[in-house]
A and B are shown apart, each in its own frame.
Chain A
């Protein structure tokens, strides 16, 4: 059976059906529609004002590649300039290959590229070192917990280095849907209360962040990359199989197969969750050590690093934060004592 005509231009043969609406489109019309939708998201949400210097978090993967490409296409219309910021977490066998892809992209698009490495920013703690530190005793290594927090800090640092005014990341609708499922399954009311918008406006001195691809489903991102023949790195992280997100991702794939609108319905739900005021996170202040945005005395990045440096990596994860105080890592020769309970504010 021959493919139907493209529903938009009525000239070329349709090359795909859009997952959401089922319309048959040819490659060029689909790419145009995709770009138009991203433009609409950015303009309607007033995410990137004219004259903004935008740091694109580039990992070499499909989402950030598509994001950078689309923003480059739209840059003249929006009046923004782009800088690529890549984060090197120090994951052997994975990140080096991804960085090579980012470098090729930067050369191809002629965009300035800055690479920030965990090893430089966080006192030698690469993700491999973190994984070795947290391994053992049959519990999960919680790598994604560390990597996610530290990466956001690294991205912020990289953006400041290049003088950016906004940070964009390539999270797509599937990512947002997985996040809301995951947060419910783990009972993370604070994140549920905070999440679900199109990014954060940048309170307390942090750079405003947004996710222009948030309403694009993952299938469409892949199709766009295919039709525009973009070169990206498509292997998954070495630590990904251990992540709890895998369960949410598996569930999302099943839901999508049963009902294609489930992904966007989840994003819609997440935007409208109403949580009790007591469950919401406290208003953010500044970290006492590094000055970044923090809802407690120490920002999560400093808290995690503190735990790592003390040899107690899980100190800042979960209820273990109760034992955290302002004292630095123990000096040599001093026995490791549990910090005095009255010195710690109740979390």
Chain B
């Protein structure tokens, strides 16, 4: 209704379609089956067509972007929720198809146990963990369950950005696929006669169907009480739910990347759906991360250098995911998150989610519009901003700093330098309030404020700023 570029020659989409919904309606694709689900604004699909549509979208997103090379080790980040469960299921199905259309990478699953940050009791955590292990064993990929407490054991090297591997060109991708297929052929010819490619493929991918022997420091050793306590203290010291969410995301990302690095995975897949990404985009905007939207919500995120995060579910709306999981019995585990049962006004994330979903009711194209706009974002500094050599990076999110430290007043939002603008105090915005990082000072990603000075970091308590 209020979309730019909407064609007003057509009647508004709020008017009910002239055809009678119900008995006479058939699947819009095959025109034969009985429809079971309505996607978008009035496209009814039957069960089989919906499945084909869903799977096709997943494959198309992967194929279009050509980032996952054959034989590559890919880590699937599984939270137990519907989107990531659906993604894992898609990968499982995709790997077991006939050779021409089969997905060609080597998967593993990582699951982070965030119970301590969310304040769950040890029993609840153990129960959730047991449910997860059940599903992980059914899926059969090598799995790693890591407790969030292990973030304290991470080496400082995770905060350094590794050298970026150059992204392969079109030619490189095609060459890689061709050589992989040739390899398959050769092995098939050498091996036994009947159904060579399938069997050989399975052996090559070599995932054990039972316990994973590959992770010696496996998760069956629960984190110590001291670590759990330290993590709870960390999260309690952060005053606002918004900041807690951001902190959790940062820690989770670092932990997943560490797991990927130690076990040799070069890609990580996360199950962010279209709806979630649209909400995330608006939230990042409101948090001041306008410069980094392309990394936060794009298909690939290579700011960490050697490991690339990809988002294959980014074109599936939450509705499609939910219906697919329901119709095709995809298992998932519910674990309470930080903001479960939090009131709507508790954090920016909750507010944005509630707002977007409400607006989506009124204007059904809201989520897809925001998503389409996000596709137009590029990973470069805006024209006119400093286009020089890459500057320092943020400690927590590894993005190039977007604060102009040279003192150009237009880019720093703090207004005129106040009389207090002396070299001593580094004012941390709310999200970093709880972190008094020891060790050598590093550049922090400030939303606004006076230029950071290379002295120690203080936790500047801001009186009167409501949490």
Could you mark each residue 21-59 of chain A with 1 if its beta carbon is under 8 Å from any beta carbon of chain B, else 0? 111100000000000110111001100000000000000
B402 at the interface (CB under 8 A from A): yes
A41 contacts across to B, CB distance below 8 A = 409, 415
Q: Please state if B372 and A268 are interface contacts (CB–CB under 8 Å).
A: no
Q: Please state if B429 and A261 are interface contacts (CB–CB under 8 Å).
A: yes
Q: Please state if B382 and A272 are interface contacts (CB–CB under 8 Å).
A: yes
B293 to A, closest residue via Cβ: A273
- Interface 9-mer from A91-99, A292-300, A314-322: A314-322
B465 at the interface (CB under 8 A from A): yes
A244 at the interface (CB under 8 A from B): yes
Q: Please state if A184 and B281 are interface contacts (CB–CB under 8 Å).
A: yes
B381 contacts across to A, CB distance below 8 A = 272, 274
Q: Please state if B3 and A187 are interface contacts (CB–CB under 8 Å).
A: yes
Q: Please state if A258 and B351 are interface contacts (CB–CB under 8 Å).
A: yes
Judged by DSSP, the binding face of A is helix
Q: Please state if A247 and B464 are interface contacts (CB–CB under 8 Å).
A: no
A264 contacts across to B, CB distance below 8 A = 288, 413, 447-448
User: A44-B410, A257-B345 given as contacts; is B291 within 8 A of A269 (CB)?
Assistant: yes
Q: How far, in whole Å, are A188 and B5 apart by their CA atoms in the complex?
A: 8
B329 at the interface (CB under 8 A from A): no
**Cross-interface CB contact of A318 among B5, B291, B355, B462, cutoff 8 Å:** B5
Q: Please state if A258 and B359 are interface contacts (CB–CB under 8 Å).
A: no
B274 at the interface (CB under 8 A from A): no
Could you mark each residue 435-467 of chain B with 1 if its beta carbon is under 8 Å from any beta carbon of chain A, else 0? 000000000000110000000000000111110
Q: Please state if B378 and A140 are interface contacts (CB–CB under 8 Å).
A: no
User: A139-B12, A254-B355 given as contacts; is B377 within 8 A of A275 (CB)?
Assistant: yes
B285 at the interface (CB under 8 A from A): yes
Q: How far, in whole Å, are A258 and B289 apart by their CA atoms in the complex?
A: 17
Q: Please state if A274 and B382 are interface contacts (CB–CB under 8 Å).
A: yes
User: A187-B370, A320-B8 given as contacts; is B346 within 8 A of A258 (CB)?
Assistant: yes
A36 contacts across to B, CB distance below 8 A = 416
User: A22-B463, A139-B1, A314-B8 given as contacts; is B287 within 8 A of A265 (CB)?
Assistant: yes
B348 contacts across to A, CB distance below 8 A = 255, 258-259, 262
B15 at the interface (CB under 8 A from A): yes
- B350-372: which have CB < 8 Å to A? 351-352, 355, 359, 366, 369-370, 372
Task: Output the residue of A139, A273, A278, A320 with the most chain B CB within 10 A.
Answer: A273
B242 at the interface (CB under 8 A from A): yes
Q: Please state if A140 and B2 are interface contacts (CB–CB under 8 Å).
A: yes
**Cross-interface CB contact of A319 among B7, B289, B377, cutoff 8 Å:** B7
B273 at the interface (CB under 8 A from A): no
Q: Tell me the minimal C-beta distance from B363 to chain A in angstroms.
A: 8
Q: How far, in whole Å, are A147 and B293 apart by their CA atoms in the complex?
A: 32
Could you mark each residue 189-215 of chain A with 1 if its beta carbon is under 8 Å from any beta carbon of chain B, else 0? 111100000100000000000000001
Q: Count contacts on A: residues with CB < 8 A to the other chain.
A: 60
A324 at the interface (CB under 8 A from B): no
Q: Tell me the minimal C-beta distance from A86 to chain B in angstroms.
A: 29
Q: Please state if A258 and B376 are interface contacts (CB–CB under 8 Å).
A: no
Q: Please state if A258 and B345 are interface contacts (CB–CB under 8 Å).
A: yes
User: A185-B369, A185-B370 given as contacts; is B285 within 8 A of A269 (CB)?
Assistant: yes
Q: How far, in whole Å, are A258 and B3 apart by their CA atoms in the complex?
A: 28
A181 at the interface (CB under 8 A from B): yes
Q: Please state if A259 and B430 are interface contacts (CB–CB under 8 Å).
A: yes
- B294-336: which have CB < 8 Å to A? 294
A240 at the interface (CB under 8 A from B): no
Q: Please state if B7 and A268 are interface contacts (CB–CB under 8 Å).
A: no
B356 to A, closest residue via Cβ: A185
**Cross-interface CB contact of B4 among A140, A187, A215, A271, cutoff 8 Å:** A187
Q: Please state if A267 and B413 are interface contacts (CB–CB under 8 Å).
A: yes
Q: Please state if B285 and A180 are interface contacts (CB–CB under 8 Å).
A: yes
- B250-289: which have CB < 8 Å to A? 281-282, 284-289
User: A254-B345, A262-B286 given as contacts; is B240 within 8 A of A273 (CB)?
Assistant: no
Q: How far, in whole Å, are A140 and B6 apart by their CA atoms in the complex?
A: 13
A154 at the interface (CB under 8 A from B): no
Q: Please state if A268 and B447 are interface contacts (CB–CB under 8 Å).
A: yes
Q: Please state if A185 and B366 are interface contacts (CB–CB under 8 Å).
A: yes
- A260-286: which have CB < 8 Å to B? 260-262, 264-276, 278-279
Q: How far, in whole Å, are A254 and B347 apart by their CA atoms in the complex?
A: 10
**Cross-interface CB contact of A251 among B4, B351, B376, B463, cutoff 8 Å:** B351
Leading 3 A-B pairs by shortest Cβ distance = A269-B290, A22-B464, A265-B288
CB<8 Å pairs between A and B, sample of 25: A44-B409, A139-B1, A180-B285, A185-B359, A186-B4, A187-B369, A187-B373, A251-B351, A251-B352, A255-B351, A258-B346, A264-B413, A266-B286, A268-B290, A271-B411, A273-B290, A274-B380, A274-B382, A275-B376, A275-B377, A276-B378, A314-B8, A318-B4, A319-B9, A320-B8
